Amino acid sequence: MMLKAAYLAGAFALLAGCDTAQQAVDDAARVTAKATVEKVLTAHLPETVPAKLVTPYSSCIIDNASANELFKLSRASITGVEPSTIGLVTDIIQRRATTTCIAKASTGLLAS
């Protein structure tokens, strides 16, 4: 019985390690995806997004992107921004949750 408990404890420890590793991968993907989004906003959509709102926009876009979309945006940080990348960012911006997030995050920034 003690041996089973030891194996079970070891299995939980391994699973916890996997969660930590997965979280590190997710965090890295979010960082590179955000860099891509900021590049799209500043280089390809500068007339759409004021410079002082790039950070709140990019944070809201990342927060409202799916895992698959984050992967695509992260990959674009290596392969380069393509028209499909710009389209993806534009699609995410237009979602209700994203526009609500942007409105809350940018309140007061335009006046300053």
Distance CA 26, CA 68 (A): 11
Q: Are 94 and 64 in contact (CB under 8 A)?
A: no
Angle CA(100)–CA(106)–CA(107) in degrees, nearest 5? 90
Q: What is the mean pLDDT of residues 55-83?
A: 95
Confidence band of 4 (pLDDT split at 50, 70, 90): very low
Q: pLDDT at position 106, please? A: 86
Query: What is the model's pTM?
Result: 0.76
Distance CA 4, CA 29 (A): 37
Q: What is the DSSP string of 27-51?
A: HHHHHHHHHHHHHIIIII-TTTS-G
pLDDT tens digits, 18-51:
566 566 557 778 899 999 999 999 999 989 888 8
Rg of the chain in Å (alpha carbons) = 19
Output the six-digit token pair for 66.
Answer: 């799916």
